[in-house]
Amino acid sequence: MKKLGILIVAMLLVSISVNAQEYTKSKVEEIANGFISTLLMEKNLKGTLVFFDLSYVAEQHDNFLEGRTEQFVAEFLSGTVKKGYYDMTPELHRIKSMKVKKVCCNPKKEEFYADVQILMDYGVKYTVRLDLHVTESGELRFIGAVG
């Protein structure tokens, strides 16, 4: 019985270690770039929802915003312009480009994010932090504010 317990603990540690290896800066950047590509290149607004945590989509997109995907994504991309001078929620069709500027992946602190610079077609440029977290199934997905 003791050997079985040791084997189970060892398997859990291997499982945790394998999952932790998936959480790298390149993985965070890959997710952010996939989101950007889906939004800007493919123009697939509904397709961007796969990048978000399911419970966040259910609570914010489905319930609070009653399925308004454009508003959901625009509010997720809200940021501050000119060092906090004013807040901005972009009109998605006016985004000219988006570029990942910095990524953070610190599994020990459960800290995962991508800082993305957004350039609007009228010249305004700002950076927004896209936070990710590990879902129950062990995947990294975006999560944002609710309400």
The CA–CA distances, whole Å, from 72 to 67, 78, 145 equal 8, 10, 10
CATH fold, domain 25-142, is Nuclear Transport Factor 2; Chain: A, (3.10.450)
Whole-model pTM: value is: 0.83
Q: Which amino acid is at 140?
A: L
The pLDDT value given to residue 66: 97
Q: What is the DSSP string of 4-26?
A: HHHHHHHHHHHHHHHHHHH--HH
Q: pLDDT per residue over 18-61, tens digit each? A: 444 489 999 999 999 999 999 999 999 999 999 999 999 999 99
Question: Where do the domains of the chain lie?
Answer: 25-142
